[in-house]
Amino acid sequence: MDPPNEQLLVHIRFTDAQDLSLYVFPLYDTPSSVKAMIQNEFPSTRSKNIRLIFNGQVLTSNTTILWDYGIRSSNLYMHCAISDFVKHDTTKPMRSKVTCVARGFDRLVATGFNQEEIRSIRSQFHQLQGRPFSEDQDPSDQLLQYEEQWMNQTGESVPEGSKWGYFML
């Protein structure tokens, strides 16, 4: 059976603005086309870095269609993180650092998210889950565990309509 060729309504959740509802064609649209739609709605984002997350997965490929990311029904939520572009100074040598294994949303650093974006995502996630969290302190082991569980979930193991299923980064 071929996938349906129809428009779907998706909701883009921002950390500092109201949700934006967009119609997409999952068989044709890509993360890049969704970003362009966001930029059309909010021109101030044209000079910003836009990152989309759905079901705990960063939508990094601008050539992969939304269908392949699991966007197959209406009323799904994507999280949108908007930040300034970070300029890297290539003239300075990189120093090796002893690093810890990143846990929870801190794993997003490896995909290019900055600390401000991660703090914002973390705050919104725990607020939506009804858990106390202060941005002024590091998350507890238990909160990191919740983040890990959510990031490791897939659309198949998250019950449709559950709180966990609707916080789409």
Task: State the pLDDT at residue 160.
Answer: 41
1 within domain boundaries: no
At 158 the pLDDT is 38
**In terms of pLDDT, which residue wins out, 122 or 30?**
30
| Parent domain of 62 | 8-86+95-166
Q: What is the pLDDT of residue 8?
A: 95
In a domain, 23, yes or no: yes
Band of the pLDDT at 86, cuts 50, 70, 90?
low
Asked whether residue 156 carries a pLDDT value surpassing 70, the answer given is no
Q: Is residue 61 part of a domain?
A: yes
CA atoms within 13 A on the CB side of 161: 0
Rounded Cα distance between 161 and 169, Å, is 15
pLDDT tier for residue 134 given thresholds of 50, 70 and 90: confident
Tell me the mean pLDDT in the region 27-46: 94
Residue 31 lies in a domain: yes
Query: Would 3 be classed as within a structural domain?
Result: no
User: Residue 134: inside a domain, yes or no?
Assistant: yes
* Residue 2 resides in a domain: no
pTM: 0.59
Residue 22 lies in a domain: yes
User: Of 82, 71, 84, 83, which is closest to residue 22 (Cα–Cα)?
Assistant: 71
- Mean pLDDT across 35-62: 90
pLDDT confidence tier of residue 96, bands split at 50, 70 and 90: very low
Instruction: Provide the number of structural domains found in the chain.
Output: 1
Measure CA of the first residue to CA of the last residue in the chain; give whole Å: 29
What CATH number is attached to the domain comprising 128? 3.10.20.90
- pLDDT for residue 87: 58
